[in-house]
Amino acid sequence: MPEDGALPGHALAGAAGRPLGFYLHVPYCATRCGYCDFNTYTASELRGSGGALASRDNYADTVVAEIRLARKVLGDDPRPVETVFVGGGTPTLLPAADLSRMLAAIREEFGLAPGAEITTEANPESVDPRYLAELRAGGFNRVSFGMQSARQHVLKILDRTHTPGRPEACVAEARAAGFEHVNLDLIYGTPGETDDDWRASLDAALGAGPDHVSAYALIVEEGTQLARRIRRGEVPMTDDDVHADRYLLAEEALTAAGFRWYEVSNWATTEAARCRHNELYWTGADWWGAGPGAHSHVGGVRWWNAKHPGGYAQALTEGRSPGAGREVLAAEDRRVERILLELRLADGCPLDLLAPAGARAAARALADGLLERAPYEAGRAVLTLRGRLLADAVVRDLVD
Ligand SMILES: C[S@@+](CC[C@H](N)C(=O)[O-])C[C@H]1O[C@@H](n2cnc3c(N)ncnc32)[C@H](O)[C@@H]1O
Ligand code: SF4
């Protein structure tokens, strides 16, 4: 990774035809949830490492410095930004003015496309009507709340600090503040969660009136507190059959409420309610990820930043790129990546992307009812509902 972050000339070839997005990572949380292995730090985890540079107080300035570096690296690339997604961590631990200041730097340096989608993630306990109104006034038009569950005992296993009912109130507050699009993130398959608990979470989420819902099977990540608790036998592991049943319950409840899936874990009420930022990742567009540990992709070049907020800020303070490493994707890597990502979409992936072994696997998946017949006959691999339940396995077979 060159110190100035310069890209090889070929990365910007054909850029005009690809949308450009920004991801801004905010690596701070008030407390760490036992299941989470995202690159985020509590105040006590940061104490003694990174000093003032790693602190929340300076963070917006540091990210603005990276946005200015992005402008230099992308040179006279004239594209305005189509999507901005502020994620974490807990972006809403920062003052709303800091989030708006980072967005303003993107607007100044690149310009925002008309109708650009500007999202922030928010933890339900960290916002109030005033905070949301400030974000809206700063230019945000979409907010994604980490609801996870409506049941207290499930929230407790997940170490969530908000109370049941708070995420639903957040949706109402966001609508009152003028947010056009509101997402709720849910997690299913938490140890101790029953089918009834999950149904109650879906009902509560849908009752709140979001236009987008993400529902993720709980992943027990190695090295997390939850993994240790499961290993010690303190909490039971959820099995795959339970995950499949919960997914079917989600599909049923969401479809009945007028939502349609557009990616295996994502449902929206209309096409306009889909998360365009995530679609940009899934379709191999260009995005600049700012912040510690953030990944970027421009024209087949992928790079990632220093992981720790201290080292990240140090680089930018010294006028260097915070990039820690990069790779240039070969044509074969890009083909495999396209299959991995596009097969999870409701639009599916073109069959002509598949190698001979993958094409034979697709024919078997069709016979097994894992791929839809009509799109297959029109040259595309699209998962059936049963295929979605087994998405990881189908994808593995088709990339052969
Ligand atoms: C990393 S969080 C960041 C946003 C915010 N701090 C929050 O917790 O809502 C984004 C989403 O990732 C999902 N997530 C994080 N860790 C997960 C895991 N181990 N298994 C499944 N989903 C997970 C949660 O649904 C969460 O809302
Ligand atoms: S609040 Fe979100 S980012 Fe922070 S530890 Fe919990 S799940 Fe991870």
Average pLDDT over residues 321-347: 96
Q: Is residue 151 part of a domain?
A: yes
Mutate to test the pocket of ligand 2, among 36, 125, 148, 218 (most ligand atoms within 8 A of CB): 36
Same domain, 125 and 51: yes
Q: Tell me which DSSP letter residue 291 carries.
A: S
* Number of domains, the chain: 2
What is residue 400's predicted lDDT score, i.e. its pLDDT? 87
Does the pLDDT at position 119 exceed 90?
A: yes
Closest CA to 305 of 39, 8, 108: 39
Average pLDDT over residues 326-337: 95
In a domain, residue 14? The reply is: yes
Alpha-carbon span 31 to 379, nearest angstrom = 48
pLDDT over 90 (residue 76) = no
Q: Give the mean model confidence (pLDDT) for residues 347-357.
A: 97
In tens, the pLDDT along 153-192 reads 999 999 999 999 999 999 999 999 999 999 999 999 999 9
Ligand 1 mutation pick, 24, 26, 94, 121, max ligand atoms within 8 A of CB: 121
Q: What is the mean pLDDT of residues 341-368?
A: 97
> What pLDDT does 146 receive?
98
**What are 107's two structure tokens?**
């607007």
**What pLDDT was estimated at residue 360?**
97
Average the pLDDT over 132-152 and give the result.
98
pLDDT of residue 79: 94
Q: Is residue 83 part of a domain?
A: yes
Same-domain pairing of 338 and 204:
no
Q: Tell whether the model's pLDDT for residue 253 goes beyond 80.
A: yes
Is 100:138 a contact under the CB 8 Å cutoff?
yes
Ligand 2 first shell, C-beta below 6 A? 29, 32-33, 36, 38, 40, 88-90, 123, 146
* β-strand partners of 345: 263
Range of the domain at 339: 332-398
314-347: b (≥16 Cβ within 10 Å) or e: bbbeeebbbbbebeebeeeeebbbbbbbbbbbbe
Pair 218, 84 in one domain = yes
Token code pair at residue 388: 């979605």
Are residue 139 and residue 52 in the same domain, yes or no?
Answer: yes
Q: Is residue 115 part of a domain?
A: yes
In the structure, what pLDDT confidence band is assigned to residue 377 with cuts at 50, 70 and 90?
very high
pLDDT > 90? residue 50: no
Q: 27 C-alpha to center of ligand 2: Å?
A: 10
Question: Residue 383 has what pLDDT?
Answer: 98
At 206-217, the pLDDT tens digits run 999 999 999 999
Is the predicted pLDDT of residue 345 greater than 90, yes or no? Answer: yes
pTM of the model: 0.97
CATH number at residue 40: 3.20.20.70
